[in-house]
Amino acid sequence: MTLETILKEGLDLQRRWKRHWPEYSRDETLEVPEERMREVLASLVERLEENYPFWHPDYAGQMIKPPHEVALLAYWLTQRINPNNHALDGGPATGRIEKEVVSVLAEFFGFAEHLGHLTSSGTIANLEALWVARQLDPERAIAFSRDAHYTHGRMCELLGVEVVVIEVDGAGRMDLDDLRAKLGTGRIGTVVLTAGTTGIGAIDPIDEVVAMRRDFGFRIHVDGAYGGFFRLLASEDGLLEKGDAAALRAISECDSVVVDPHKHGLQPYGCGSVIFRDPAVGRFYRHDSPYTYFTSRELHLGEISLECSRPGAAAAALWATLQCFPLRPETGLGPILRKTRQAAQRWAALIDEASAVELLRPPSLDILAFYPTPVGKSAAEISRLTSEIFEDLMTEEAKPVYLAKFNAHRRLFTGDRPIIWDCPVATIFRSVLMKPEHFEQVPSLHGRLIAAIARRAPEGVR
C-alpha cells in the first residue's frame, strides 16, 4: 500500500465525519485560482531545494531527524481541523490525546504521579521547569554545568534567577567535586542535569547527584531534550556505558524532566514536553480568565502550561507514532535508537584505526566529535583544516557529505594529546548519527572523510 493510498483513505474517513454538519458555501474572499495556487507551490518547492538533504543518511550534521510518515499523515489530517490544545474548548479530542501521550512519557521515565504537557520546543519546556523551580524556591540559585545548553542561562536571566555555573570534567559531564563545593554554600535550590549535551552528547551523572540530596536540600531537573529517549537502552549490557545507563535510570528519582519528541521521537517540529513528578506544582499555573473554557469543568491544558495556543496536531501525531512505535526496548522505538547508537560506535571504531583523524572522546549516545591530526597538532591548524574539509565535503559534486562543526575547549582534550594551544578553542567535526540508516552508511561516510583529508593534507597528516 502506498503513502498516497493511506492518505486518500484518511481523507475519505475525514470527509465522512464532516458530513455530520450542513453544507455551506466557501466565501469568495478565500478563493484562489487553481493555476495561481499551482504556480505558488511550484515556486515554493523550487526555493526549498536550497535545503540540505536532512532525510538522507549522507546528512550526518546537526540534530535534524526526518519525522516518520505516520506522524506526518496524522499531523496533516488533524491540522485540517486545526484544533488548539490550549483548552478543551479548542481541542476536545486532541486535548485528551495529549494527556494520554504525556501519561505514556511520564510512565516511561518512572513517575508514578505527574503533571505535564507538550510544548512547542525543548527551550519552552525547560523554561517552564525553571519557572516552577523559581516559584518553589525564589531565594536560591539555579545551577547547571558549563556545557549545558546555552538557553538555560538566558532563561534564568529572563526569570531574574541567580545562576551558578558548575565546571565539567574531561568527558563533558558535570564535575561533582565542583558541584559539592558550591552546594555547600547553601545558595543552590535547583540543579539542572543534562542527559545528552548538544555538543558531544555527554550525560551528567544523574544518579550520583540524586545521592547528594541526602546531604544538601535541592531539587533536580533533567534536560533530556536530546538524550531522554535513550533511557530505553539503559538496561542493556554494553550498549550504553554503565555510568550513563545508571544516570538515565535515575531520572525516575528527579523532580522534572524535559524530552523532545521532535528529536528522537520521530516527530515534526515543534514538539517538546515537560513533566513534573509532583502534580501539586500545578498551583503555580492557575489563572482566572473571564472569556474562555466554558464547556468543561475538567482541568484543561491551558491551566498547566505557560503557552497559550498550541497545535493539537502535534499531540495527534505523537499519539499515532507511539501506537506504531511504542516506548519499548525490544520493539517500537528501542531498535531504532539501538541502531543509531551502534552507528556511532561503528564510526568511532573506524576512527580509532585511522591515523588521519582522532576521536575527541568515545561517544555516550549517537554523537561523535573528531578532528584531523596535522603534523604539529596546533589548535589553529586543526581548526583551519577542519573548516576546509567541512566545505570540501559539503560541496563535493558527486557524493557530498554533510557534517557539523564544534568549538571544543581544551578541557575536553584529555589523555596523551600533545596539542599546541595557540588559540582558546579548536574547531573540530561533530556528527549526529540520528537515523538508523546511518549504521550501514558509516563506512562510506568514513571513507569519504579520509579521502577529503588526504586531498587537503597529503603530507601534513600524522
DSSP H helical segments within 160-255, as ranges?
Answer: 176-183, 206-212, 242-249
DSSP string over 293-325: --S--S--GGGS-S----BHHHHHHHHHHHHHS
Q: Which three cell numbers stand for residue 142?
A: 539555579
Contact, 266 vs 71, CB < 8 A?
yes
The C-alpha angle with vertex 122 and arms to 56 and 90, in degrees rounded to 5, equals: 100
Would you state the pLDDT for residue 376? Answer: 72
Task: Read off φ and ψ for residue 420, nearest 5 degrees.
Answer: -85, 115
Rounded CA-CA distance 124/372 in Å is: 37
Q: Tens digits of per-residue pLDDT, 388-409?
A: 999 999 999 999 999 999 999 9
pLDDT at 351: 97
How close are the terminal C-alpha atoms of the chain, in Å? 53
Per-residue CA distances from 379 to 171, 296, 417 (Å): 19, 62, 11
Q: What is the pLDDT of residue 296?
A: 56
Give the pLDDT score at 461.
61
Nearest CA among 258, 268, 228, 265 for reference residue 244:
228
State how far the Cα of 81 lies from the Cα of 17, in Å rounded to an integer: 11
Residues 107 and 101: their CA atoms lie apart, in Å, by: 10
Nearest CA to 206 among 51, 20, 364? Answer: 364
Check residue 459 and give its pLDDT. Answer: 65
Residue in 87, 114, 90 with CA at minimum distance from that of residue 100: 114
pLDDT of residue 336: 98
Cα–Cα distance for residue pair 346/164, rounded to 1 Å: 37
Give the pLDDT of residue 196: 98
Residue in this structure with the C-alpha cell 499515532, named with its chain if needed: 320
**Cβ atoms 378, 422 nearer than 8 A:** yes
Hey, what amino acid is at 360? L
How many residues appear in the chain? Answer: 462
Nearest to 253 by CA among 221, 290, 282: 221
Alpha helices in 112-203 (DSSP H): 122-136, 151-159, 176-183
Residue 349 CA, distance from chain mean position: 25
Domains and CATH numbers, the chain: 77-324 (3.40.640.10), 333-456 (3.90.1150.170)
What residues of the chain score a pLDDT lower than 50? none
Give CA–CA dist 312/94, Å, rounded.
5
Burial of residue 384 (CB within 10 Å: 0-12, 13-18, 19+) is middle
DSSP 449: H
CA distance 76 to 67: 12
